[in-house]
Amino acid sequence: MQVDYIINQVNALIKRTGTRNPKDICKFLDYKLRFMDLQHKLKGYFIVINRITNIVIDDNVIDIFQPVLIAHELGHAFLHKELATMSGFQELEFFEKRETAPMEYEANLFAAELLLEDEQVLELLNEYTFFETASILNVPASLLDFKFILLQAKGYRIRPVEISKSTFLKENNGAYGTHD
């Protein structure tokens, strides 16, 4: 999937809903956002049941990390919905086994584009380091690196730090309040 396609999908979503807030987007689209105890085994997933899109987030995840997970799952819902519709819960296993597949990468790009405004990121980078900027924006550094990939695709003269990997959300990254 082309980066431009993901950027256009996010821009259309923001225009349609009038917000970048993932919780508000779920509400606007009538996606069921649920918080359940997933026992630190899975931070979140999305699934379509009876034509209803459900996004489930582990309620053990700290509040500040939730928007990243919701945005990531929205990415799957917009970019990979047919997989969840066709295979139901088998889709979870499919995503787990295909770590080299681009789906996680694409959902991360979607989340970065949704949560991080170009101007705000560039303004902060004029004053702060990469890691300070990620901290100020309350996002994992890997998500900011995904934003760098998007900015580069838009023609900005910026180089990704190259710490982003498709599976970064599988790591703790402080999502549970600690850095295991």
> pLDDT tens digits for 18-62?
999 999 999 999 999 999 999 888 899 999 888 899 999 999 998
Looking at the predicted structure, is the pLDDT value of residue 94 above 90? no
- Judge contact between 126 and 163, C-beta under 8 A: no
pLDDT tens-digit series, residues 50-75: 889 999 999 999 888 999 999 999 99
Q: What is the pLDDT of residues 127-171, one digit of tens each?
A: 999 999 999 999 999 999 999 999 999 999 987 787 766 666 776
**Would you say residue 98 has pLDDT above 60?**
no
Asked whether the CA dihedral 96, 102, 72, 156 is positive or negative, the reply is positive
Q: Please provide the average confidence, as pLDDT, over all residues in the chain.
A: 86
Element (H, E) at 136: helix 130-136
Please give the Cα distance from 128 to 121 (Å, whole number).
10
Range 69-96 average pLDDT: 70
Under 8 Å between Cβ of 168 and 140: yes
At 10, the pLDDT band (50, 70, 90 cuts) reads very high
Nearest CA among 109, 92, 93 for reference residue 147 = 109
